[in-house]
Structure 1
Amino acid sequence: MNFTDLIQRFAAQNPGTDSFLKVKEGTLALISSDAEHAGPYFLIYGFARSYVLLYEDQAIEPAFAEAAKKQLLQYMTRLEDAFRSGSAAEILAAMNWIVIDYGHSGKIF
């Protein structure tokens, strides 16, 4: 599986801890198989892991779960675009944007 496949699968799944768990597992596998992008994968892994730890045993409102999924998808697609550029500077800029955006967000994961 590659990052694009992981994004597509996540986008197609219902929002909730199961879909975030699959992102967590997928990015962990990608860290091992694509070391060049280990940092960005670890960033996404951390968000997915946090969501699972915070909400796996809780009833979550559908709107909340959808908002979290939308935010993580935005981060994943931002990284995917940077990967396509092939530029380390673009990847770093995408990671920085994600961290800053997350800091200004509701920090739901």
Structure 2
Amino acid sequence: MIQRFAAQVPGTDSFLKVKEGTLALISSDSEHAGAYFLIYGFARSYVILYEDQGIDPAFAETAKQQLLSYMNRLNDAFASGKADDMVAAQNWIVLDYGRSGKIF
């Protein structure tokens, strides 16, 4: 899902695909449901906030890069296989989002 999202043009359609994909992963991989739900929430918020608006391409790219950084952070934690890494990644994401412009 990360590679597909990275390759797509930034905008609500690409965020909608992440939302749908993470919702499916929540059901199929309950061990990581919390991490998927975090990404799902960000993608869902972006779609709700911007689906009926014309978005500046630079803004859309910024949002895409922010979500990609979160997805990659979680992917690295998945790869480690350590529960502590997963918790640390989720905490980092929540704190980073709180310090960010909260664009989604």
Structure-2-length-normalised TM-score: 1.00
Residue 53 of structure 1 aligns with which residue?
48
Residue 24 of structure 1 aligns with which residue?
19
Equivalents in 1 of 2:73, 2:50: separation in Å? Answer: 25
Question: Residue 67 of structure 1 aligns to which amino acid in structure 2?
Answer: T
Identity of aligned residues (%): 80
Residue 3 of structure 2 aligns with which residue?
8
- TM-superposed deviation, 1:98: 0.2
Question: Residue 2 of structure 2 aligns to which amino acid in structure 1?
Answer: I
Instruction: Work out which of the residue numbers 54, 67, 84 in structure 1 matches 2:79.
Output: 84
> How many residue pairs are counted as aligned between the two chains?
104
- TM-superposed deviation, 1:7: 0.4
Per-residue CA deviation, residues 51-94 of structure 1 (Å, 9 max, x unaligned), is 00000000000000000000000000000000000001000000
Q: Which runs of 5+ in 1 are unaligned?
A: 1-5
Residue 62 of structure 2 aligns with which residue?
67
Question: RMSD between aligned alpha carbons?
Answer: 0.2
